[in-house]
Amino acid sequence: MTDIYEDIRSFTGSDWPEVWAILHETFARGDTYSFAPDSSESDIHRAWIDVPLRSYVACDADGRVIGTYFIKPNQPGLGAHVCNCGYVVAPHVRGQGLASLMCAHSQREALALGFRAMQFNFVVASNEGAVRLWRKLGFDIVGRLPGAFKHAQLGYVDALIMFKQLVAA
Amino acid sequence: MTDIYEDIRSFTGSDWPEVWAILHETFARGDTYSFAPDSSESDIHRAWIDVPLRSYVACDADGRVIGTYFIKPNQPGLGAHVCNCGYVVAPHVRGQGLASLMCAHSQREALALGFRAMQFNFVVASNEGAVRLWRKLGFDIVGRLPGAFKHAQLGYVDALIMFKQLVAA
């Protein structure tokens, strides 16, 4: 997957149809992100592209988009030294390490952008693969929100808050 | 303070100058909210009035605004059953119980609006009075964000996540 790592780059407007296809398919399942399964394209464009500070895509050897992530301050002003990211991997390349590569990339970008820490606000507790991955990548579980996510199959499940210092305190 | 409780009502546009005066004075201190101390009036109007689902004011016996709060979903779609609120009390009436009254009011409103729980994302740990108050009102500390708030006097301090179920799970 090192080739893919080299192909993580800034999002440009012409990437959107491919990005939207991946996001739509992911959010429609209703098992990992809080976006409503029937979220409109414009709502997701706002959340993934317009609101964030930066958005990125990961491409395969043929230049097709296979993953995407965003980075933004998690709070305004006095909390803006902590960033928040969201990552989505295309279904056909899951389990091959792309989320790890995007997360590593995002941490480098976060430091370059001046952030001191990274926070995930809403990791669905039943998404055990994600929780395990973020822990492996150095994120601590710093909070648990009881029943905060309405899972499409499981009903109300907990969401976790995960946090990693990028700069020594 | 029961009189004040009766005078908590929905925000209307003509309240804004009084609301802004209270918010501006509070945020300028840089010790409780993450809004930058020099936040513009339009940025705060967006955050306190435009983005939230509902905003409210508390008035004294002469009809002057002495407190304000907002309520909004803390997440979109599958997390929208948990609300988030922010409260600000005018400096000259601090310590008289108005925050408690607004919080009680907000919990009733939250239930009426269909929310099942209430979450505070960013309670500054050094704001001990607030932490004590929210605990007294039934909120649990469910998370701690290390160094997530840049306090104007104290530098980096922790922020707490607090949570209260409003409907039995």
pLDDT, one tens digit per residue, over A32-77 is 999 999 999 999 999 999 999 999 999 998 999 999 999 999 999 9
C-alpha to C-alpha distances, A89 to A27, A35, A86, B76, B160, nearest whole angstrom: 12, 16, 10, 21, 31
| Chain-chain contact of B36 with A82 (C-beta, under 8 angstroms) | no
Q: Across the interface, which of B36, B81, B146 has its CB nearest the CB of A76?
A: B36
Tokens of B61: 């016996």
Q: Is the pLDDT of residue A104 over 60?
A: yes
Say if residues B141 and B161 touch (Cβ distance below 8 Å): yes
Q: Is the pLDDT of residue B6 over 90?
A: no
pLDDT tens-digit profile of B30-50? Answer: 999 999 999 999 999 999 999
Q: Is the pLDDT of residue B1 over 50?
A: no
Q: Which residues of B touch A152 (CB under 8 A)?
A: 78
pLDDT at A5: 52
pLDDT at A1: 47
pLDDT tens-digit profile of A81-94? Answer: 999 999 999 999 99
Q: Is the pLDDT of residue A3 over 70?
A: no
| Chain-chain contact of A36 with B76 (C-beta, under 8 angstroms) | yes
Say which amino acid occupies A114: G
Please state the length of chain A. Answer: 169
Q: Which of A90, A162, A153 is nearest to A132 (CA)?
A: A162
| Alpha-carbon distance B41 to nearest alpha carbon in chain A (angstroms) | 14
Say if residues A50 and A72 touch (Cβ distance below 8 Å): no
pLDDT at B49: 98
Q: Round the average pLDDT of chain B to a whole number and report it.
A: 95
Helix axes B128-136, B98-112, angle to 10 degrees: 50
Say which amino acid occupies A165: Q
Which chain A residue has the Cα nearest residue B38? A77
Q: Is the pLDDT of residue B142 over 80?
A: yes
Q: Round the average pLDDT of chain A to a whole number and report it.
A: 95
Segment (H or E) for A98: helix A98-112
Mean pLDDT of B110-114: 98
